[in-house]
Amino acid sequence: MKICVMPGDGIGPEIMKQGLKVLEVIGEKFNHSFDVTEALIGGVAIDETGVPLPDTTVAICKDSDAVLLGAVGGPKWDTIDPSIRPERGLLGIRKELALFANLRPASLFPQLKDACFLRPDIVDKGIDVMVVRELTGGIYFGEPRGTTVENGERVGFNTMIYREHEIKRIAIVAFEAARKRDKRVCSVDKANVLDVSRVWREIVIEVAADYPDVELTHMYVDNAAMQLVRDPSQFDVIVTGNLFGDILSDEAAVITGSIGMLPSASLGENNPGLFEPIHGSAPDIAGHDKANPLATILSIAMMLRYSFDLTVEAECIEAAVEKTLSQGLRTGDIMDEGGKLVGCIEMGEAVLANI
């Protein structure tokens, strides 16, 4: 199993170091061989090569079975030419790998329920939602788009467009993901108003015929935004377009209250998937052994599950993380009353010991 690892900037190298130790121990325990190659992306790539996504990085990624990313960006590169900003590296690699599906699980470990913003009676029902967002189509990329002047006033316009093949492939990702979870998909659209949503719904229903073991429901996006805070326990997998997914995945993430805990995956059709924590490079704490490595460690669990079909190994990592939290270990971002404050290294080592 060939893995390209891109630690990136800020806390990226620190959290990735802990993640890779976990991967190594999983390899030993389950007798797998992970062939890891490091590559440059973001600010460090700019410093060394002048561009945020060197050709060699793209080549290494394409030659791998999966790609792991820490984070990119930081104040050092905030004032450089926007066309070579570190974030361009991230957008660039997503494009090069044709990653059209973004999987964002938002689950609340019971040990961290005090960090959740919702009422205790809602939290007690549990939160384990996976938002599957279409990433390369919809209104963010639809044509025509632009700005103009009509009758003396300024006008802006975009096009929300989805083609059958785009809807089909994202629906398949959602149903496949549901099969690895609680076997429920809720498709979110605005079919009462938008024509594009009516086509979306029609095609999702057609795809569902191939997944009789998975329950399909539909919900309008305004209701979904409300239901996510009213009772997130009702959701398993939510599948939706680019715009709605952008909003709902952030909403789902924030209700768990801990940015340092949340992993993500971006998947393409025949290319390696990209796995990364949802947080950024946290320059305010970089180099101080304060970063929470758990989102990265959980991203590695996602990689094992989605790229290599190693479910038991993924569950082993998730259980080790849960046990570590049960032991009361907390980095600063998830610190609570009675918790033991630890740094990035100590947190990583505790997870290793629990594996």
Angle in degrees, CA 340, 276, 171, rounded to 5? 125
Question: 237 pairs with which residues across the strands?
Answer: 130, 185
The Cα–Cα gap between 286 and 74 comes to: 10
The structure tokens listed for 291 are 């970063």
92 binding ligand NAD? (CB under 6 A)? no
Q: Which is nearer to ligand NAD, 87 or 176 (CB)?
A: 87
The structure tokens listed for 346 are 């100590």
The structure tokens listed for 132 are 């599957």
User: Which of 135, 265, 282, 303 touches ligand NAD by CB under 6 A?
Assistant: 282
From the list 50-58, 140-148, 174-182, 282-290, the region that binds ligand NAD by CB under 6 A is 282-290
The number of C-alpha atoms within 13 Å of 256 and in the hemisphere containing its C-beta is: 30
Lay out the site mask for ligand NAD across 305-344 (x = CB under 6 A, - = otherwise): --------------------------x-x-----------
Whether 284 sits among the annotated catalytic residues: the reply is: no
The dihedral through the CA atoms of 313, 318, 319, 325 has a sign that is positive
The helix (H) or strand (E) run that includes residue 106 is strand 101-107
User: Which of 204, 239, 285, 329 touches ligand NAD by CB under 6 A?
Assistant: 285
259 binding ligand NAD? (CB under 6 A)? yes
Whether 190 sits among the annotated catalytic residues: the reply is: yes
Size of the site for ligand NAD (CB under 6 A): 22
142 binding ligand NAD? (CB under 6 A)? no
The structure tokens listed for 240 are 């939706």
Angle in degrees, CA 122, 102, 159, rounded to 5? 105
- Residue 8 near residue 68 (C-beta atoms within 8 A): no
Residues 286-305 that bind ligand NAD (CB under 6 A): 291-292, 295
The DSSP bridge pattern shows strands 215-220 and 237-240 to be unpaired
Q: Which is nearer to ligand NAD, 204 or 278 (CB)?
A: 278
User: Which of 96, 283, 323, 346 touches ligand NAD by CB under 6 A?
Assistant: 283
Q: How far is the CB of 3 from ligand NAD (least distance, A)?
A: 18
Residues labelled catalytic: 140, 190, 222, 246, 250
Q: Which residues bind ligand NAD (CB under 6 A)?
A: 11, 71-74, 87, 90, 259-260, 276, 279-285, 291-292, 295, 331, 333
